[in-house]
Homo-oligomer: A and B are copies of this chain.
Amino acid sequence: MRWAPDARGRLERAAFELFAEQGFAATTVPQITARAGLTTRTFFRHFADKREVVFAGDEIPTTAARLIAEAPADVEPVEVIRRVLHQVAAARFDDNHAQTAAWRRIVESNDELRDRDARKRADLVRAARGAFVERGETPLQAAVLAELGVLVFQVALDTWAGAEPGSRSMSATIDEVLAALPLAARP
Q: Which A residues have a C-beta under 8 Å from some C-beta of B?
A: 77-78, 114-116, 118-119, 121-122, 138, 140-141, 143-144, 147-148, 151, 154-155, 158-159, 176-177, 180-185
Contact = CB atoms under 8 A, between A and B. Distances in A.
Given A182-B77, A182-B185, A184-B182, A177 B116 contact: no
Given A147-B155, A155-B147, A180 B118 contact: no
A177 B140 contact: yes
Contacts of A141: 180
A151 B144 contact: yes
Contact of A118 (B115, B143, B147, B183): B115
Given A119-B119, A140-B159, A182-B183, 13 more contacts: A77-B182, A78-B182, A114-B122, A118-B122, A140-B155, A144-B155, A144-B177, A144-B180, A144-B181, A147-B151, A148-B151, A148-B182, A151-B151
**Which 3 A/B pairs are nearest by Cβ-Cβ distance?**
A118-B118, A147-B151, A115-B115
Contacts of A147: 151, 154-155
Nearest to A151: B147
A78 B155 CA distance: 18
A74 B184 CA distance: 21
25 contacts: A114-B122, A115-B118, A115-B119, A118-B118, A118-B121, A118-B122, A138-B180, A140-B155, A140-B159, A140-B176, A140-B177, A140-B180, A141-B180, A143-B155, A143-B158, A144-B151, A144-B155, A144-B177, A144-B181, A147-B151, A148-B151, A151-B151, A182-B185, A183-B184, A184-B184
